[in-house]
Structure 1
Amino acid sequence: MKILILLLMLLTQTEALAQTSLKLAVNADSSVSEVGSKVLIEIFKKTDIIISSEKRPAARATLEARAGLLDGEVARNVNYADAFPELIRVDPPYYAFQTSAFLKSGSHIIITKPQDLLSYKLGMVRGINTSAELVRGAPRSPKQTRLIN
């Protein structure tokens, strides 16, 4: 009987010591993703789940997460799961950000509709889905938009 009790104690102690670990991709070119990763790691320190993050270019992170080489990704936009249904969005979000455009003061530029942008040169960071979504459907000319790696 003592052996059975010791065996049960050993099994329950081993189970209590077991930890889950998750390996998540962080977009190598996104400070938002980097900050999100640090916040997530701190949040999960209060659980038995250990989070580690690995920097990847955005497209490679998606490929590896979809292939099961990574457990997921950090800081993707809310519509990301629509494009990749095999990846599950975790709700509620633990932080949020807004994208804004900035102009040099004194530039006297007034933008009220997408067509107003046609006479200006714009830049967009490649691999940031939020940027692509913001300009999707907007009129553009080949000389207008410059992709930045």
Structure 2
Amino acid sequence: MIVSKRFVSAVAAAGALSAVVALAAPQAGAAVTSLDIASGLSFGSSGSYGTGCSYAVTVTATPGATVILLDGVGSSPTEVPFHGVEPVADESGKATATWTPTEKGMHYIWATERLSGTPSLTEKVTVGTGIALGPACVVLP
């Protein structure tokens, strides 16, 4: 059986994240309650999201909480598209990061509060080939 380095790295990262979340003391009332991926000025025959184009991902969480965002391509979670950014929710509970997908296909954007031990939210989106045109993005199959 051949196992790719990328798969092993993704499994190791997911395992480490699960261990941190499992060992953390839960905070009362802490939870991610919404996840929104703004498509901005993207358009095309393949949907609203394209490779190489950037999108604002906004999470509603407990004010002051650090939010972890992961991008799973297929079923492999990775932090690479968010470049290790862990935004902190402002006074209104909103935390925003920029997502720039690098691969076509089905993506699962996953959000949870760091160390809260609370459930996460996942948003499923399809990414096509993007052609960035300044603030706009043309999405092709």
Same fold (TM over 0.5): no
Q: Which has the higher contact order (CA 8 A, sep 6+)?
A: 2
Higher strand share: 2
- TM-score (norm: length of structure 2): 0.24
Q: Rg larger in 1 or in 2?
A: 1
Higher helix share: 1
